[in-house]
């Protein structure tokens, strides 16, 4: 006989869990009592949202299922943003929450929350365990569901009495869920149709998303591109799926993508989507997206096919196995005329900014990070302008080296995700590129990096604004900066900030880093960047580098929301 908690510990061992991120509380005290003696590394986060992002970053960097643990009520509800973030980006993680005893469910007991009801829209699947006999099976199923098909987060809510109850039910050796059998092999006729379409196309284009990384298909994407001379563009989450230093790489497409990628998408005659989902930041105005192209879509999730954009050739299944089946049927070729056109666009429209400016430009800082790390770091970002500059000015050549919140756009994601990524990849320099707005959302987790000597480098591009929102206000709201200034000066009257004496910027990130036990450094001029970053990257511990950058630098190019990809704003001029 085993208690529910013992079943949980055995299930986690069998699932291969090495690290758990979380916080204790009243409803999970029995679990924590057993964890005290269990062979897992436990990372005590300072907020449950931080714990879920750590598990998320761990999963993205390692390719394994992340695991986090929280108590009932507010502990559980604090995981919702992290679960929604993982769900939008198809990240495999298992979140375990405690619950009040089953007889008290529905009675508004202390720290009760219907977490399975709350998280149903933001998880791939969830469980409320009412019978301890079911717990061993549920744990095994949760890890299976999280990692197979289209990956995603799974929540297991375990009432306190179920944790203490005993059962003789064994932990299953295999999982077989009658209604859950994801399709992995693509249909041979559809694969043949896709091969024929590629062979006949004069201006084909590969459009690669995060599914190619989740499916470990980077080598197959490269083989297809090189065999048939297919140019490659990626989504934000697809960065690293194809080397951006390759002559066939067009870089990212969409709202802040490269001019070349957007023009190529508009003019191609065949668009082959590989593990991407046609989100609105990519398509812009859907009726004018790839208007001259037949569209093929390879995806393991059949519900993603034709969800946003009508698809001519659907191929449902595992990206890696489909590309392997496709490769023998595509012709070798160079597509000389198409590639010459693309090369002309690339030469005419590179990512650019004012390189002669005497001010500290944020793009320059990222270029220096790329140079000093030789493009081999794991870059994690928060959300905002810095996220887009990190996508534009750092070139990614390997999968799982760019980690960011794509679908949900979660400010506060990067710092805890960087901790998870660094634990998963201790052999890499992990750099969290942040804005000053995002940095303030989960900065408390720095102490976790200090405690465990997780040597992440946090580079804050401090422009004193919620920068991306300010950019939209500048371009589309007549420069009325409503609630986007983070300094005390020039705030709106409605914010009622007294600035007559001692207006200043808060917080002091260097002192904040030091207060948490990390090394804090500040850069105020271009000439200080290289030496300061070198000091940070060679320091044996977490470092916060605050870079005081040009406040009103913007991200270009920019496709306004709802516009065609060809309607790019490339500067204020």
Q: Find out whether 19 and 40 touch, Cβ atoms under 8 Å.
A: yes
Q: 3-state SS of 191-224?
A: HHHHHHHHHHCCCEEEEECHHHHHCCCHHHHHHH
Closest by alpha carbon to 270, among 327, 201, 319, 316? 201
Between CA 435 and CA 475 the distance in angstroms is 20
Closest CA to 327 of 227, 178, 467, 434: 227
Please give the C-alpha separations between residue 447 and each of 43, 156, 196, in angstroms, as whole numbers. Answer: 11, 28, 56
**422 Cα distance to chain centroid:** 15
Distance CA 268, CA 245 (A): 22
Instruction: List phi, psi (to 5°) of 545.
Output: -110, 115
DSSP H stretches of helix in 148-299: 160-164, 188-200, 210-214, 218-228, 259-267, 280-283
Helix or strand holding residue 346 (H, E)? helix 336-348
Contact 193, 313 (CB under 8 A): yes
Question: Which residue, chain included where needed, has tokens 């009325």?
Answer: 480
Which residues are the active-site residues?
Answer: 48, 110-111, 160, 468
Query: Counting beta carbons within 10 angstroms of the beta carbon of residue 174, is it exposed (0 to 12), middle (13 to 18) or buried (19 or more)?
Result: exposed
CA distances from 158 to 72, 96, 355 (A): 9, 8, 56
Question: What distance in Å separates the CA atoms of residue 91 and residue 53, rounded to the nearest whole number?
Answer: 11
For residue 95, give every residue at least 6 positions away whose Cβ sits within 8 Å of its Cβ, in sequence order, or none: 52, 55, 67, 68, 69, 70, 79, 82, 83, 123, 153, 154, 155, 156
Residue 149 makes CB contacts below 8 A (sequence gap 6+) with: 180, 182, 300, 301
Q: How far apart are CA 144 and CA 154, in angstroms?
A: 10
What distance separates the 2 farthest-apart alpha carbons in the chain?
A: 74
Q: Using CA atoms, how far apart are residues 217 and 221, in angstroms rounded to an integer?
A: 6
Using an 8 Å Cβ cutoff, are 116 and 153 in contact?
no
């Amino acid at each position: 006989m085993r208690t529910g908690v013992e079943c949980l510990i055995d299930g986690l061992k069998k699932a291969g869990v090495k690290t758990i991120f979380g916080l204790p509380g009243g409803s999970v005290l029995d679990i924590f009592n057993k964890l005290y003696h269990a062979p897992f590394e436990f990372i005590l986060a300072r907020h449950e949202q931080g714990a879920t992002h750590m598990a998320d970053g761990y999963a993205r960097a390692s390719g394994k299922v992340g695991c986090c643990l929280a108590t009932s009520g507010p502990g559980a509800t604090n995981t919702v943003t992290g679960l929604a973030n993982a769900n939008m980006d198809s990240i495999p993680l298992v979140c375990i929450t405690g619950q009040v005893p089953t007889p008290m469910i529905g009675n508004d007991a202390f720290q009760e929350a219907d977490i399975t009801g709350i998280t149903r829209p933001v998880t791939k699947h969830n469980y409320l365990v009412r019978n301890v006999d079911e717990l061993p099976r549920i744990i095994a199923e949760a890890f299976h569901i999280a990692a197979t098909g289209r990956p995603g987060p799974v929540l297991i809510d375990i009432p306190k009495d179920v944790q203490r109850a005993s059962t003789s039910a064994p932990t299953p050796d295999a999982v077989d869920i009658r209604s859950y059998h994801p399709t992995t092999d693509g249909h041979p006729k559809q694969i043949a149709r896709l091969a024929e379409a590629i062979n006949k196309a004069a201006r084909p284009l590969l459009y690669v998303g995060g599914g190619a990384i989740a499916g470990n298909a980077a080598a197959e994407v490269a083989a297809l591109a090189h065999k048939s001379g297919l140019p490659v563009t990626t989504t934000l989450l697809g960065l690293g799926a194809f080397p951006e230093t390759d002559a066939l790489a067009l870089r990212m497409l969409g709202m802040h993508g490269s001019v070349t990628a957007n023009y190529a998408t508009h003019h191609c005659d065949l668009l082959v989507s590989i593990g991407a989902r046609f989100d609105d930041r990519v398509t812009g105005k859907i009726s004018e997206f790839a208007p001259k192209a037949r569209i093929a879509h390879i995806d393991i999730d059949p519900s993603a096919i034709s969800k946003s954009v009508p698809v001519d050739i659907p191929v449902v299944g595992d990206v890696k196995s489909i590309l392997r089946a496709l490769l023998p049927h595509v012709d070798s070729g160079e597509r000389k005329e198409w590639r010459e056109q693309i090369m002309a666009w690339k030469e005419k429209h590179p990512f650019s900014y004012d390189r002669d400016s005497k001010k500290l430009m944020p793009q320059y800082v990222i270029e220096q990070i790329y140079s000093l790390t030789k493009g081999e770091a794991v870059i994690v970002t928060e959300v905002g302008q810095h996220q887009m500059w990190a996508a534009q000015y750092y070139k990614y050549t390997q999968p799982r080296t760019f980690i960011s919140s794509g679908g949900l756009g979660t400010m506060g994601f990067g710092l805890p995700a960087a901790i998870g990524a660094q634990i998963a990849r201790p052999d890499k320099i992990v750099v969290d590129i942040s804005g000053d707005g995002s940095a303030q959302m989960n900065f408390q987790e720095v102490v976790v990096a200090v405690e465990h000597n997780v040597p992440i480098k946090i580079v804050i591009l401090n422009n004193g604004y919620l920068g991306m929102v300010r950019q939209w206000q500048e371009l589309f709201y007549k420069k009325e900066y409503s609630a986007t200034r983070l300094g005390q000066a020039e705030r709106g009257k409605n914010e009622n900030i007294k600035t007559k004496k001692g207006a200043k910027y808060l917080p002091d990130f260097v002192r904040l880093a030091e207060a948490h036990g990390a090394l804090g450094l500040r850069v105020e001029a271009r000439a200080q960047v290289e030496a300061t970053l070198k000091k940070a990257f060679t320091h044996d511990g977490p470092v916060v580098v605050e870079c005081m950058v040009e406040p009103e630098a913007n991200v270009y190019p920019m496709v306004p929301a709802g516009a065609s990809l060809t309607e790019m704003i490339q500067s204020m001029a």
